[in-house]
Structure 1
């Protein structure tokens, strides 16, 4: 600004005051000399004020120059700490412009410095936290063996520059082993930090953190998988925790209702429970991420937490899961056995199907209370068995005969031994139940074989029936083509018997190959030997029948009937399933 411009601005600003001064002088009536004296006094005062203003401006200029110099030094120090080139402001700037430029650069450098300090502290806290989660012996192995440094000496905490401690040190954990949370640096204290971590240390910390994270992540995933399995099985079988450690896990995964005592004691070193999802240091995260480890979804509202994944805890979880799986298998197997037994008992006791269905629907699953209800029903059926002994015994004999036929066992197996009291129905019931259990075991052990043999036996019986009809002399009258139809049926059945024979032999061969044993009948013969012997007997009987066959005139229906009965009873032996005496026995 030029002098004339300053004068004009000053005159314009004080003109109203000068006019007021002249009006006062006119009113008083000062003469020319008096006015001259007063004007001189007024000018002297203005000069004094102007000198004070100049003095203040000079002081302000000196202060600004001092601030500029301090800011220059501060910027130079921060550039050196950050490893940046020295800052050179533009030439020809006034002091005020230079001050603004330096302030802007200082703010930029402070932000960089703050970001580096926060990154350093965040990495250090995460490393210490991961080391704690991994058992506390990973940092020394990585830093000494790979970087040849001591972690706590090379990367000291910056604790004194925080309002609260936000670097997690070895001793900075609570009594339960839970690490304190990360807090941001106070921006007003950033400039006070004299020892700033360099970029090399940041890179080393990043390398250590990534390696620890690579170790922790698969272990944390293993821990999560174990928790999911445990939670699923525990919910299925309504498992009651046996210790505080188990109660803590079940509570965190959302199964608190399974714990008898809802306020279970927290077990140090098992899991780390967070207060909320915002201040929890998660296994894989950066300061700007909100990633979290979740459970199997049984209860999405429970607190997130980070597990400690040392070998002891993972081994304990693995053993616990195995115990739960075994317990579930025991419950499932026992419940299924009881249901199968109840179906047999209900059938023998004539229980209505609607009541059976209602009971099974009401007591489905395999929880402990289900097992208890099934056991109570078994006890009730046992009581009803003795109350309705005769009806139960009749059905038991019928079932035993049917199963003996399926297993190719002689029906005599259901008879009591000679030294038993045959008059006591209780002894007979116990004997039949034992025989049924043995026959059931035998049948289900060789079920594919027995099913094929049953089809073969059915075809063989049909063939023998056709042979018996062909021996009836009345069939040779050929009324309505009965003889021709019977011969065709015989040819069909012969093919059917051959086909079912092959299927039965193939099923036996597959069983023998699978079990590495031999399928033998109780008489010591193989099934192939049995069918060969049967065919030989069949051919012998057929040849004998041909030599004795003669055509008898059909004089009357009575004579035909008599001849038919005589031939059937006198000349024909019809093999049945009873010829397969005894149950098959597998010999290695």
Structure 2
């Protein structure tokens, strides 16, 4: 309000000054005696000058106003364009501002937007240079921003991220390239050849910038590395096969150790050179083998026989290979033996797990049979060192182990038979038929031994030893005497009466032996024998259990009722 008042006061003062100036002019004109007509002309000139001055001023101010308004329109238009190009929101003017304030505010805003535009373009230029360089090295497409367009903040951020990703990718590709180059160089040196293809030459070159670090090129190097690895594996396989053949011929031909060391001490050479050395040695040995056909064939036969035994061949299966029994030692016979060696080794390798499992079963079976025989020996009860219990524990342990081995063997055999469509044979018959036959044979043998012991007891005839006669002496056995026999039934022994008769002298003067009368044995009468140490041992042995299982059953019997039998004693009445 103060500004308006000052301008109004100033305007009023202009009017007052004009009135004062006109009054003085009037006074001057009056003093000069200028007539009315001249006064009117002069006042008209004054008016014209004042109006012209005011009109010029008004015109200039109007032109200024027009320029300001045009500037405002231009600034507004440019600001709208810049906001659009810079992806900014449209600028909104504040309310209540004068034209001059609006024009000033728009000019300031326009300057800010122009600076922001220039900054973005400058940053875009720098980022595009970096991106172009990286993409040229990696052979990828740069980040696309339309030429002449002002990038948005989002586009600049995406461009920065793109450069960051490409930088990381370059580092990774460079690291992969360095590692692959080192491996390829090592493989080429190991193989012993120079780089041949362009890719191999680029891979081993010293200048890293000469190689385009693209994903496809690095992938190609990776493929090249895998190819070289496969090549090395093939060469090593060839070398190992050569070594195997050479070592086999060394053993067959009995080559001395000093000749072998020539080939064995070249492991530091490239594989190509090492293969050549072993190939030359193999050729030399093949020629030497031809000159020693008989010895070589006999050595191979030993090897074949060893593998036959490993595969549990029967005699009939061995006879199928007729050249084994030929005496015509020719190169053709040697070739047939070599083929048989390869065949039997392949067969063994194909089912080695089953054969090893069966061999383990057979080893434990042999130990089990030995312990079974010991368990059936009556004389084992005389043992006082505790080995009887140890043997029984070992026998039970082996029996469980055999069952477990058979259970583990069954699925393997069934799988093998399903895959090959033929039965798995050991010693000419199916493996489980063979195992079943072994168990059945052991069972039958135990039955036969049991029957033999039973028959032996039935056929045993007790002979009473004789004593020299005493004059008028009759030896009686006291009644109610009890003898303890281990594991036997109650046996009542009667006294034997020895009648002494008068000695009939022979021509040599020796007395005749007395006759001993033994009671007849009937179905209902118990066995009665004279009391004598040797006779007692015969009774004990004949009544011993036939196996450890029967012995345990006798020990574990309980006494009950009238027919009770003590575990380790038997009452004998004399």
TM range, normalised to the smaller chain? 0.3 to 0.5
- Superposition TM-score, scaled by structure 1 size: 0.47
Larger Rg: 2
